[in-house]
Each structure stands twice: as structure tokens, then as C-alpha cells.
Chain A
Amino acid sequence: MESVDAIIEELNRILVNQFEVDPGQITAGARLRDDLDLDSLDAADLLIAIEKRFRVRLDDQEVRKLTTVGEMHDYVRTVVAEAAAGKLNVAADNEQPPAS
């Protein structure tokens, strides 16, 4: 699993490279719509970019609730952690001896 810092760094890199956000504007409190000028079309593409980069599935409803960069960081971090835990659980399940 990627470290928290690496996830945040990667999310910020997406904002800069794909959405041409000025790196100096990226703070935890920066508002996605009002400060970074990302609208609904951008939000749809941001969701796709995050899902592809981290190989996770985001909840559309939850994504719509995100208003700041910090909230986005927290949400994606949580989803990535849960996905990693799920994979561990699957692996652990697979180690159980077959029922006789």
C-alpha cells in the first residue's frame, strides 16, 4: 500500500498535470470549485483519473460531497486503505484450509 504522503503527492500531481492547477494554490483548505475553478465536468474527469491511478472504485455520491482539497485527500486515502485491507482479507481467506 502507498504511504499517506505518497497518495497526497500523487493526487496533487493529478491536479497540476491534468487540471493545470497552480501548485501554489494547492492547500488542504483550498476549495475545489471556488478556489481551483474545477466544475462538474472536471469532477467527472478527476474521479476517473483517481480511479485509474489507484485502481480503486470511488463512490459517486461521496465524491460529490467533497468541497476542499483536504477532504479529497482524506477520502481517497480512506478508500485506498480499505481497498488494500480488502485485498489482505482476501489473501488471508485464501490461506484457510479447504473445508473437509
Chain B
Amino acid sequence: MKRVVVTGMGVVTPLGCDAETVYRALLEGESGVVAIPAFAEVADLGVRIGGPVRGFEAQRIPRKYRRSMSRMVQYAVSAATDAIAAAAVPVDLFSAGRVAICAGSTTGSPDAMEEFFREYLGTGSIRGVSGTSFLRVMSHTVPAHLALVFGSTGPVHTAACACAISNQAVGMGLDLLRLGRADVALCGGADELSVLGAATFDLVAAAARGWQNDPSARPAPFDRSRDGVVVAEGAAMLVLETLEHALARGAPILAEILGYGESCDATHMSSPEPAGMRLAMERALVDAGVVASDIDYVNAHATGTVIGDLAEAQATGEVFGDGTPVSSFKGHFGHTLAACGGIELAMSILAMRHGVLPPTRNLRDPDVVGVRLFAAPLVTPVRRLVSNNFAFGGINASVVAARWEG
């Protein structure tokens, strides 16, 4: 079976748009969560804070492409541009159909949906609806635009399972590369901050409400005071590549993707199930050909919900015991939804390369047991890591990555 490596990474986040800079911000404990005044204008919405992207330059994308792009697509294209540049992917590989694109967003653009329904329901006519509206709403808006911008004629696959999207995209890319259907796979996810996203978590009592006077204090994954998700936005794209292809062209190798595992709880649409989470991690370990004791770091999904973090800690502890360092980056970024897995995997790979693990921000008084949490940057050699993401619908997705020793 072909081995697969990561040769480029790009991110667009509430803490900036340069991967190394964002990683440093994590170590320094910065927060990208701020008050969102527009949320206060929505009747009965308790959410007042969010994680908007910082330092993004839309103008870097030519208008011809940008005109049909929502913000989430612009973020994805920007992240992909950086990832492809870092990997120095040959341009002719795209036109030769040897690049697979595996990406997605939780929904099509909420902004575009609002725009359509405001016009249609407000006037009873579609006359004022933009011709590009559907291109921003369609479920494959992210991967389709990536293919357009980079002239990629290869497979275009949409990952669509909400907060597990990025990890699923990596899993899809891994499969395609192992099967020889492509030499390179561009994998990741993107989402844009919206009332829809905030309301989704608010309506099921899973959002941190209020906190507009102290936004950076939320979310608080694994902390006793945690009170829910803080919605955020962003994108991450990783260039995956077969090892043989990367070596042949002298590409920079950042890490190896050893394996992927996924599962469905099949028990409840929104209530997490530790057994399902555990299954995804165990399947990923088997796929990677390693055992739990080979793993030196677990990047948690941990969004800061009361029951989600508890279930995740239980599952993680059951698989890895209480000796393996575990941290979540949601306390820094908020929950970037479809983008979170890609951002977290990229940051975890950088942490593995630097040998310094960012801790969980806003964690002061843990109330979960059975896992090794830490409150300050942890200097430790990491040979292999697991990055977990879980989504509504009981979807669980785990990636195993390893340090590239060259």
C-alpha cells in the first residue's frame, strides 16, 4: 500500500492566516474570540461572541473567481494557495488530473442562503436574486471552486459531515492516494461565521451564551465552568501526496499520514456516545498499524460543551490511558466547524515538528478524569499523534500522523 505524506499546509483562522504565526499564537495563549455585535440584534439569540477570521485579504483572489465565492470559499482558496505554494506542487499536475480535491463545508454559504430568501420571501419574486447565488449555496461550493481556481481536472469529492469534515477529507484523500487514483490530494474544510451557525448551537442549548464583556474567557474545553460552543470561522487545506511522488520531486515533507478511522454512534443525532468515539480512534490506530502506546499526543475535538467534553475524555482515556498528553485548540479559536479538523491537524503537525504542544486555553479547573491535560506549553518529543473530530449525527473521525524522520 502506498505511503502518504503531508507536503504543504495553509490556514485561515481567527488568529491569523500564516500557519507558523498561528502556531506561535497558540503557544502564547492568544484568543481569537471577540464580541459580535450583530448577534445581539437577533431576537432570542443568546450567543454574543464568536471567532471571526483575522488578517484575511480577499483581494488576493482574482475577481473572476471571487465573484461566485462566499467568504468560506475565499478562505478555502486562500488556505489552498498557501498550502500548494509551500508544497511547490507542479502546475501541470492539476491539468493532468493527478490531483484529487477532497473538501467541504457544513452547509453551503449561510450568507448566500440569507440573501436568496430575503429577496424571494421579501418580494415574492426571484428577480433580484444573483445569478451566482446557487454557486455559493451548493454543497460542493468549496471543492468545486478549488478545482476551478487551480485548473484541476482530477476527482472532486465533497466531505459533508459537519464538524468532522476536515478529518473526513483527509481520510478520503488518503484512500485515493493509496489506491493510486491521484498523486496529490488537496484536503480540508471551510466555514463562515453566521447567525445560522450560532443559532444551531444555541437552539440545542450547546452554545456559550453572553460573555460579550469577557469574550476570550470562552470556550473553556474540559473546564468545570464550560458552558458551550463558541462558533468561529476559517479554513485549512493540507497537501497530501504519495511518498514516492514527494520523494521523486524533492518535495518538503512535513509529516506522514499513517491512518484514518471513522465510525457512527448510530444512537442519537446530537448526544455524543463514548463507545462510537473510541471506535473511530481504535480503527485509526489499526489502519495506521500502531497501538495506543505508540501515540505521544492526542489533539482533542473538545468544543467546550458539558456532555461532549465528558464523553470525549472518557473515550480518549479508555483508548490511551492517562499518560498521553491531550489538548484542545477550541479555547483559542472557538469552533471553526468544517475547518476545525484541518486547522487542528496542521497545528498538531507543527507542534510535533517543534516538540512543543500548545495547552488547552481557558482550562483552569478540569472536571474530567482519565486523561492527561496540561495547562502550559508542553515540551516533549512527539513521534506520532492522533487528531480527533466529532460531528452531529454521531459521526466520529480520527487521523493518525507521524513525524517525518527523512
Please tell me the number of chain A residues within 8 Å of chain B, measured between CB atoms: 12
CB distance from A98 to the nearest CB of B (A): 32
> Which of chain A's residues has its CB closest to B66's CB?
A20
Is B128 in contact with chain A by the CB < 8 A criterion?
A: yes
Could you tell me if A41 and B68 are in contact, using CB atoms closer than 8 angstroms? Answer: yes
Given the interface pairs A19-B63, A20-B63, A37-B64, the reply to whether A44 lies near B131 with Cβ below 8 Å is: yes
Among residues of A, the one whose C-beta sits closest to the C-beta of B63 is: A20
Closest to B62 in A: A20
B54 in the interface (beta carbon within 8 A): no
Q: Does A82 contact B (CB under 8 A)?
A: no
Q: Chain A nearest CB: distance from B73 CB in Å?
A: 15
Cα–Cα, bound, A57→B131 (Å)? 17
B63 touches A41 (CB 8 A): no
Number of interface residues of B (CB under 8 A): 10
- Measured in the bound complex, the distance between the Cα atoms of B68 and A40 in whole Å is 13
Measured between C-beta atoms, what is the minimum distance from A82 to chain B in Å? 18
* Set of chain B residues within 8 Å of A45, measured between Cβ atoms: 67, 130-132
Q: Is the CB of A51 within 8 A of B67?
A: no
The 8 Å CB contact of A52, one of B68, B128, B131, B132, is B128
Please, what's the 1-or-0 string for B50-84, where 1 marks a CB less than 8 Å from any CB in chain A?
00000000000001100110000000000000000
Main secondary structure on chain A at its contact with chain B? Answer: helix
Q: Which of A19, A41, A42, A48 contacts B128 (CB 8 A)?
A: A48
B127 contacts chain A at the CB level, 8 A cutoff: yes
Q: Which of A38-91 contact B (CB under 8 A)?
A: 40-42, 44-45, 48, 51-52, 57
Residues of A within 8 A of B130 (CB): 44-45, 48
Contact with A along B113-140 (1 / 0, CB 8 A): 0000000000000011111100000000
Which residues from chain A contact B67 at a C-beta distance below 8 Å? Answer: 41-42, 45
A42 to B130, CA, bound (A): 9
Taking CB atoms, residues of chain A closer than 8 Å to B127 are 48, 51, 57
List, in ascending order, chain B residues with CB within 8 A of A41's CB: 67-68, 131-132
In the bound complex, CA of A51 to CA of B123 (Å): 14
Instruction: Find chain A residues with CB under 8 A from B131 CB.
Output: 40-41, 44-45, 48
Contacts of A51 in B (CB 8 A): 127-128
Residue of B whose beta carbon sits closest to that of A44:
B131
- Chain A nearest CB, measured from B65 CB (Å): 11
How many Å from the CB of A89 to the closest CB on chain B? 24
Closest-CB distance, A17 to chain B (whole angstroms): 12
Which residues of B are found within 8 Å of A44, using beta-carbon distances?
130-131
Interface residues of A in 7-47 (CB under 8 A from B): 19-20, 37, 40-42, 44-45
Nearest chain B CB to A50's CB is how many angstroms away? 11
Complex Cα gap A7–B130 (Å): 22
Expressed in whole angstroms, the Cα–Cα distance for A19 and B129 within the complex equals 17
CA distance A45 to B127 in the complex (A): 11
- A66 CA to B218 CA, complexed, in Å: 55
| A37 / chain B contacts, CB cutoff of 8 Å | 64
Interface centre among A19, A20, A51 (most CB of B within 10 A): A20
- Give the distance to chain B from A9, nearest Cβ to Cβ, in Å: 22
- B55: min CB distance to chain A, Å: 22
As a 0/1 sequence over residues 126 to 164 of chain B, the CB contacts with chain A under 8 angstroms (1 = contact) are: 011111100000000000000000000000000000000
Using CB atoms, name the residue of chain A closest to B130: A45
CB closest chain-B residue, reference A37:
B64
Residues in chain A near residue B64, CB distance under 8 A: 37
Closest-CB distance, B390 to chain A (whole angstroms)? 38
**A40 neighbours in B (Cβ, 8 Å):** 131
Once the chains are docked, how many angstroms separate the CA of A94 from the CA of B167?
67
CB distance from A10 to the nearest CB of B (A): 18
| Chain B contacts for A19, CB-based, 8 A | 63
Nearest CB of B to A12, in Å: 17
Binding site for B on A (CB under 8 A): 19-20, 37, 40-42, 44-45, 48, 51-52, 57
A44-B130, A48-B131, A51-B127 given; name 7 further pairs at CB < 8 Å. A19-B63, A37-B64, A41-B67, A42-B67, A45-B130, A45-B132, A57-B127
13 contacts between A and B (CB under 8 A): A19-B63, A20-B63, A37-B64, A40-B131, A41-B131, A41-B132, A42-B67, A44-B130, A44-B131, A45-B130, A48-B129, A48-B131, A51-B128
